[in-house]
Amino acid sequence: MPAVIVVGTQWGDEGKGKATDQLGAGVDLVVKFNGGNNAGHTVVIDGEKYALHLLPAGILTEGVTPIIGNGVVVDLEVLFQEIDELASRGRDTSRLRISSNAHIIPSYNRLMDRTTEKFLGKRQIGTTGRGIGPTYADKMNRIGLRVQDLFDESILRQKVEGALANKNHLLVKVFNKRPVEVDEVVAELLSYADRVRPMVVDASLLVNDALDEGKTVLFEAGQATMLDIDHGTYPFVTSSNATAGGACTGAGVGPTRITSVVGVTKAYTTRVGEGPFPTELFGDEGEELRKRGGEFGVTTGRPRRTGWFDAVVGRYATRVNGLTDLVVTKLDVLTGYEQIPICVAYEVDGERMDEMPMNQSDFHHAKPIYECMPGWSEDITGVRKFAELPVNAQRYIERLEELSRVRVSVIGVGPSRDATIVRHDLAAQGNK
Ligand code: GDP
Ligand code: IMO
Ligand code: MG
């Protein structure tokens, strides 16, 4: 009954999609447990590139049941766009299941997301504009719409009316916009009902039954530790729990069922949107790493901010997620650097800090203390065994392992499924 959680350890885009896809062969169910179509997960299979936003990466593997858990927020238009696109490329999407408790992103929350960002001015978060924040806010405010509401028109109407009563005041009186019509929203949502109905399940029951039957379940996170609403760089975060705990609440499984927690990290760091980033590189240096890594967002196309590996963030991610393994991706991108700095601690107002500062303001002022590792120049994209990596690349990985306090089990040396070095088999672990 292996139950493996896969989380991002940095600010997203670490390569979770590839990691999930790769584990796919040994997995029966893949459950997405948080976030929505703010995610952009890239999977490259036989040279074909797939960009998944809302759908779990497991959708690309035959025999895997992909599940959208209760912790996810679902934009129904995007759901069917993604399904139709995959179908047009010959992929079977019929196995997809959706929790009846998952919340729906109504169109008015996309409007609210973009409008409130504008009003934040200099304090804006740089959201993806997909309505994620307002939909999670509605959930917590208990005025959200759930997938199950699609099947009872009068309940749906009552809920939309309830949500809009408040929002229309804001839209009209504060934001100077036109009010949103209840009828239009209800009609749009109902137009998806028949197509969604066969996919809707009690996802918690399905997942727990599968675990009881000895099946392997993978829990796939959107976003990442430093974007987590509780543990990230608040307020420059997303609005869900992207850390391991979120897998339990977002899928309806107890913590006692989890057998391992796999963190995915880049061999360096990137971030999209606003917020602090101590190891960020600017100017030519930042541009160089962005170019080498092809660091442009999958969801919004925005250039990603780039910087060196931050081991304070790494240690923090190990702690808050209880990581058992680390997947280090994009090691190939560092080929050719003579020296590779690693941030081992911060200096804050003249004092050394080895752990994540407790205060957000300290984190904003944190200056990285670097240790430099010698680089390598050999092409490593064809390497499949750790011992065959250049010695300096091996040392780099061993140092990340030491500083992050978790073993590095898998190393990515290219975007495709097979460009991977496996040191410990992740999917088999729960069988120990
Ligand atoms: P996710 O959001 O965590 O799934 O990551 P993204 O898909 O947004 O970004 C990761 C990018 O890195 C994608 O373009 C992947 O194809 C690519 N990628 C993943 N692993 C590797 C690797 O080991 N080497 C290289 N060069 N690219 C990789
Ligand atoms: P994956 O799953 C990188 C960032 C946004 C913004 C902040 C809040 O591909 O790693 P939101 O729209 O969620 O309210 O935006 O979070 N963000 C991501 N950054 N990768 C992601 O997902 C992200 N999802 C959200 O850029 O700064
Ligand atoms: Mg991404």
DSSP assignment of 100-122 equals TTPEE--HHHHHHHHHHHHHHGG
Distance between CA atoms of 245 and 20, rounded to whole angstroms? 18
Question: Binding site residues for IMP, as ranges?
Answer: 13-16, 38-41, 128, 142, 223, 238, 302
What is residue 428's predicted lDDT score, i.e. its pLDDT? Answer: 64
Pocket perturbation via mutation, ligand 1, pick of 11, 18, 265 by most ligand atoms within 8 A of CB:
18
pLDDT band at 122 (very low <50, low <70, confident <90, very high): confident
Ligand closest to CA 131:
2
pLDDT band at 426 (very low <50, low <70, confident <90, very high): confident
Task: Name the percent of the chain in helix, strand, coil, to the closest 5.
Answer: 40, 20, 40
The residue-averaged pLDDT of 150-164 equals: 98
Nearest ligand 1 atom to the CA of 420 is 23
The residue-averaged pLDDT of 192-201 equals: 98
The type of residue at 210 is A
The residue-averaged pLDDT of 40-65 equals: 93
What is residue 21's predicted lDDT score, i.e. its pLDDT? Answer: 84
pLDDT at 432 over 80: no
The type of residue at 20 is T
What is residue 185's predicted lDDT score, i.e. its pLDDT? Answer: 98
Looking at per-residue pLDDT, the higher value among 47 and 140 belongs to 140
Task: Please indicate whether residue 224, judged by its CB atom, sits closer than 6 Å to ligand 2.
Answer: yes
Contacts for 78 with CB less than 8 Å, ≥ 6 apart: 37, 53, 54, 130
Virtual CA dihedral for 172, 35, 401, 259, nearest 10 degrees?
Answer: 150
The residue-averaged pLDDT of 196-212 equals: 98
What is residue 252's predicted lDDT score, i.e. its pLDDT? Answer: 98
Distance between CA atoms of 262 and 5, rounded to whole angstroms? 6
Output the pTM of the full model. Answer: 0.97
Residues 219 and 6 sit within 8 Å (Cβ to Cβ): yes
Catalytic residues: 13, 41, 139
**From the CA of 202, how far away is ligand 1's center (Å)?**
32
Closest protein CA for atom 15 of ligand 2: 127
Task: Please indicate whether residue 38, judged by its CB atom, sits closer than 6 Å to ligand 2.
Answer: yes
Nearest ligand 2 atom to the CA of 38 is 24
Kindly state the tokens that stand for 45: 């299979």
What is residue 316's predicted lDDT score, i.e. its pLDDT? Answer: 98
**From the CA of 214, how far away is ligand 2's center (Å)?**
34
Task: Please indicate whether residue 105, judged by its CB atom, sits closer than 6 Å to ligand 2.
Answer: no
Ligand closest to CA 225:
2
Ligand closest to CA 239:
2
The type of residue at 59 is I
109 HSE (CA, 13 A, CB side)? 26
* Model confidence pLDDT, tens digit, residues 384-408: 999 999 999 999 999 999 999 999 9
Q: What percent of the chain has pLDDT over 70?
A: 98
The residue-averaged pLDDT of 284-294 equals: 97
Q: For residue 194, give Cα distances in angstroms to 148, 189, 197, 199, 269.
A: 12, 10, 5, 10, 43
The type of residue at 415 is P
The residue-averaged pLDDT of 90-105 equals: 97
* Model confidence pLDDT, tens digit, residues 233-254: 999 999 999 999 999 999 999 9
Ramachandran assignment for 121, one of left (phi > 0), alpha (psi -120 to 50 degrees), beta (any other) = left
Contacts for 38 with CB less than 8 Å, ≥ 6 apart: 53, 127, 128, 130, 132, 222, 223, 238, 299
Burial tier of 382 (Cβ tally within 10 Å: 0-12, 13-18, 19+):
exposed
pLDDT at 430 over 60: no
Task: Please indicate whether residue 43, judged by its CB atom, sits closer than 6 Å to ligand 1.
Answer: no
Virtual CA dihedral for 407, 409, 414, 416, nearest 10 degrees?
Answer: -150
Q: What is the mean pLDDT of the chain?
A: 95
What is residue 23's predicted lDDT score, i.e. its pLDDT? Answer: 82
**From the CA of 7, how far away is ligand 1's center (Å)?**
14
What is residue 156's predicted lDDT score, i.e. its pLDDT? Answer: 98
| Preceding peptide of 66 cis, ω within 30° | no
Please state, as a whole number, how many other Cβ atoms lie within 10 Å of the Cβ of residue 351.
9
Task: Please indicate whether residue 41, judged by its CB atom, sits closer than 6 Å to ligand 2.
Answer: yes
pLDDT at 218 over 90: yes
